[in-house]
Structure formats: structure tokens, C-alpha cells
Chains A and B, each alone.
Chain A
Amino acid sequence: MKNPYIVEPAVITGIRQETAETKTYTLEFIEQKRGLEFIPGQFNMISLLGIGEGPFSITSSPLQRNKFEHTIRLVGSLTKALDRLSIGSTVGVRGPYGNGWPVDSVKNKDIVIVAGGVGLAPLRGLINLVAEQRDDFGEIEIMYGSRKPDNLIFTSEYGNWRAVPNMRLFLTVDEVPKGIEWPYEQGVVTNLLGFSRIDPSNAFAFMCGPEIMMRFIARSLIIRGFAEKNIFASLERRMECGMAKCGRCMIGPKYVCIDGPVFSYPEVKALPHNLLTAIS
């Protein structure tokens, strides 16, 4: 019986600074034979022994097995300690956990991806998967909003994404500080939906970001004609075990760690506390 609490050592082989407080780490298991098989939207538990453990979504493409990436924002003790690590350091990894985006059911379908802030992280793997297997998917539109231009993550990849046929990227920020040139939109991310050219009747929508944002996005999407069952949201909760034992991530009868983190809109609607549905 393998102990699921045991972490496996992985080495940091690359660090890329995304914003002032966000970094993307490339990890490789020390035991080379073991790659990581995962679905975009799933997460790993990353440990710094002695500091703690936390859930972080896997942000690389699932086609790349031998190494994987995590995009991590500086929040608490653990992320602060991660921030101090350099290439060559070892961290503990176990996973992947969670259900991930319903990749199989969106084959040949159009997808609208809506993200806010660091919420683009769990969607990047999906975007890169689409870019690599372009023929398997329909049109893709990425609507991404952030607070300020320098809070946008994965900026180095926007060029690649725009170059992919039938993939469109729309950007917006809440505020533009003086002296910064910003050629894109300004305002809440909901406004970007107006640019969509996808026929909503048979399309899917994936979203991740602050819950208040997703609440308004869901409402707009439904008004635009998206079917409720085709809208998916990735939720955030505190997790410590990742396998429905510690009970922290429970929302009503659902565990975010095994039933989620990706939930369809009807599933979310059935949960108590009226998360995304309070206003719709």
C-alpha cells in the first residue's frame, strides 16, 4: 500500500518571474522515470518540509510529461519560502489531485476562457494543449482581466497564443497607472464578452478568478445564450490533504479536492451558500 501522504522530491529546473509577486517554477522529479500525468486544471500538493504544504494548480501543458510547471503567487509563509528558492533546490510534490477541466467533452467545440488575475494559471495548461493539438478543438477566445497591466501573468506567451489560428486573446485591466501605455481595454473582464464571436449555443465556457468576478461572468454568459451545463468554474478552498480526508475544502456535500476544483454551473448552483448564483 503506497502512502499517499508521502511527497516525492522534485528539483526546480527553471524559475520565471511573471509579476512582482508571481513566479513560474519548472519542476522535474528526481526519479526521472516518473513523469507526471495530469489533466489541465488539476493541482499538486507542494511541500517545503519544515514550512508546510499547499495546493497549487499545474500550469504546464499535459503533453509535456517529464517536467511540469507551477505558477505561484506570494501570499503566506509557504509561498514566501518558495519565493526564496533558487534553481536546483528540492521541493516535495504529491499529486495530481482534483478533476481538472473536462477536456474530453470539449473536443471539436468552441471554448470561451475567462480569467481574472492569477486565475489564468489553471487555464494555461489547457490553452497550451489547444495550441499544440489545434485540430482537436474549435475556436478559442481568451478573456483575461487583471487589476493593473503589471499584474498580468504569462505575458511572454501572448504572442504565441495570438499566432495560433482561431485563437483570440482579449485583455483588460481595471486601472492604468499614469505613464504606462496600454493599448487594450480598460474595465471589468465582463466587458470583454462583448467581443466574443463564438456562437454560444454549442460552446463551452471555462472560468477562474475571484468568486465575485465569476458570479458576474456566469450571469453574462447565461444571458448571452450559453447553456448552464456548459459553464465550468474552478473554485479555490483551503486544502491540506488533497484527498477528501481533512475536510477543509468542503462546500456543502462536495469536496473541492476530489469533486472539484472544476465544477459545472449546475453543480455550483446546487451547493449551499449561493456562491456563483447569488445574483443570477
Chain B
Amino acid sequence: MNLKKPPARTLDLKRTEVKLTASVNSNDKVKTALFKFTCCAGCQFALLYFFHQLPETLELLDFVYFKMAMRKELEEPYELAFVEGGVSTPEHIEQLKAIRSQAKVLVAFGACAAHGGIPSIKNWQTERAVEENVYPDPLLVSSIKVSPIDEFVKVDYHLRGCPIDEVEFMELIRSVAADKSPYIRGHPVCVECKLRNNICILLMREGVQEGMCLGPVTRAGCRAVCTSNMRACFGCRGPMSNSNIPEMVRTFMGKGFSAKDIEMRFTEYAGLSAEFSEGARAYYGRKTPYYHRKAA
């Protein structure tokens, strides 16, 4: 296998002549490609919906590859790559590294690319059991454990969430076009939830579906969409910047949630992150994960 060495990644999108305040004045569009690995493609679909809402955003991006929306085959070069979905076959790794070598900015697009997402639930069982469940003849397939893409390549920015959030996406593309670092929230969902004057559902509601809220340890940026609609946060955006997982487990235990519930809630979307896998094992401890990432 002969892979290209990634070039030095200085983020210079041909914006040398800058007058006043903003390189955003430039009319160059950012050539963008969107790739999909193991996921449901829901984030791409959500993206189409954002475009429907905000057609002017296409002023910033020039898509050279976007399978769901365009017939065009991949056309190089591109500067910005969105990668959706986790890695689950050996071929994915090769493709991912090729994307990295081409893109100046690589963005993990959605929960699956950032943390493994829903497909990562299979990592908590043997691969054989998973294959036997799905395929009539498991000997014909060769799958591997799902991993987030930054397991293999350097990721510049993460757009977390299942699906991604419109405001955060807009912030990212505007920032990339202006060559500044986007404001990606590191604080917990609790902050965004409270700012919206919501009643705390972790405190006020009972039951697994209604009150088992991961808000205090999950990264914000979703505009508290679930909790604003009286649904518990299920942690799709992964751990916040300084999460206190032992206390989250203790709180769930105190409320009488079962070990199985706690494990399932932590492993639903971001069980591969160091923090949430700690939460999944903290109380239960029945089985250790086959796959566990070290803290970055």
C-alpha cells in the first residue's frame, strides 16, 4: 500500500490580501467534499435540510463531492473535507488517510465520526457475535471494531451530535472561510438548557426514558434540543471538556437506575470515549470493553 504523505497543514486558503477585519470579505469559495463511512447518513441528510433553510450558506462552500446531493464523482483538489461515520473496515483507513493528505481542513462530521456513534455499540460484544447476528454466513464478511476517525488521522474540528447542529455547522464553515478557529462549546448541555429557561428534567422527572439525563456530562452545542422538548439528554455529543463521570454514575445510582440502564445510556453514542466508557464500567463492571481509547 502506497499512501501519500500528508502535506504540511498550514491553513492558508489563499487569503493573503486582507483588508479590515475580515478575510470573510473574500469571494473565494472553499472547495468542499463530503465522505461517508459507517453511519446512517443522517448528518448529510440534515445538511441538505440546513441548505434548504439557508441557501446563502452555499455562497461559502463549493461542493465537489456530495453523494447524496450530486451525481458528480469525486474531483480533486478540495480544501475542506467533512467525514461522516466511523471506520469499520480496513479499506476505510486507507481512504481516510488519502482524504487527510488532500484536505487542508478535516472535520469529523457527526457523532459516528467523532465518537463511533450508534455503530460502536457492537464494540461491546465479540465481532463474531455481531456478524452471526446480521449475516447468514459470517465467514463471508470481515468487519473490524468501529473507531472514530481521529483514531487514524488528525482531525481539525469535530462537529458532534446525532445529527449535527445547524448553528454549529454554520459557525464552523464561516470560521473556516474566515480562517479563524470556530467557537465549539466545551461546556455541558446543562448550560445551554438552563439558558433556555428549562426546568431540570434530571431533577424533576423519573424513569429511564424521561429522567435519565446525561446533560451534566455531555458537551453542549445542540442548543439543548432534547431537554427543551422534555426528553432526557442521551449523550450523543460525547463528553464535555471536564466531565465528572463518577458523580454522574452516583447520581443515576441514587435515583435507582439499574446497572444495565446506566451502561446502555453511556454506551449509546459515545461509549468509545475514555470518559463515557469509564461511566459504563464504573458501576456495572460485568464486562470490560474490547475497545477502549486512552484519554487524549
Contacts and interface: CB of A to CB of B under 8 A. Distances in A.
Q: Do A and B touch (CB < 8 Å)?
A: yes
Interface residues of A, number: 17
Nearest to A92: B21
Contacts of B22: 48-51, 81
B181 A90 contact: no
A50 B178 contact: yes
Contact of B180 (A80, A85, A88, A89): A80
B271 to A, nearest CB: 33
A102 B178 CA distance: 41
A218 B268 CA distance: 53
A76 interface: yes
Contact of A51 (B15, B19, B180): B180
B150 interface: no
A178 interface: no
Most buried by B among A76, A77, A90: A77
B20 A89 contact: yes
A47 to B, nearest CB: 8
Interface string B181-197: 10000000000000000
Contacts of A80: 179-180
B89 interface: no
B20 A90 contact: yes
Interface string A73-103: 0001110110011101111000000000000
Interface string B9-51: 0000001101111111000000000000000000000000000
B194 to A, nearest CB: 17
Contacts of A52: 180
A174 B178 CA distance: 37
A265 B24 CA distance: 45
A80 B180 CA distance: 8
B21 A49 contact: yes
Contacts of B21: 48-51, 81, 90-91
Contact of A84 (B23, B24, B181): B23
Interface string B160-194: 00000000000000000011110000000000000
Interface in A79-135: 80-81, 84-86, 88-91
Nearest to B20: A90
B20 A81 contact: no
A92 to B, nearest CB: 8
Contacts of B18: 81, 84-86, 89
B223 to A, nearest CB: 22
B18 to A, nearest CB: 5
Given A49-B21, A84-B23, A76 B178 contact: no
Nearest to B16: A84
Contacts of B178: 50-51, 81
Interface in B109-152: none
Nearest to A9: B20
B182 to A, nearest CB: 9
B19 A81 contact: no
A88 B20 CA distance: 9
A52 to B, nearest CB: 8
Contact of A76 (B16, B19, B24, B181): B181
Contacts of A91: 21
Most buried by B among A50, A80, A89: A50
Interface of A: 48-52, 76-78, 80-81, 84-86, 88-91
Given A49-B22, A84-B23, 9 more contacts: A48-B21, A50-B21, A50-B24, A80-B179, A81-B179, A84-B18, A86-B18, A86-B19, A90-B20
The 8 closest A-B CB pairs, nearest first, are A77-B180, A50-B22, A84-B18, A49-B21, A48-B21, A77-B181, A90-B20, A50-B21
19 contacts: A48-B21, A48-B22, A50-B21, A50-B24, A50-B178, A51-B21, A51-B178, A51-B180, A52-B180, A76-B181, A77-B180, A78-B180, A80-B179, A81-B179, A84-B15, A85-B18, A86-B19, A89-B18, A89-B19
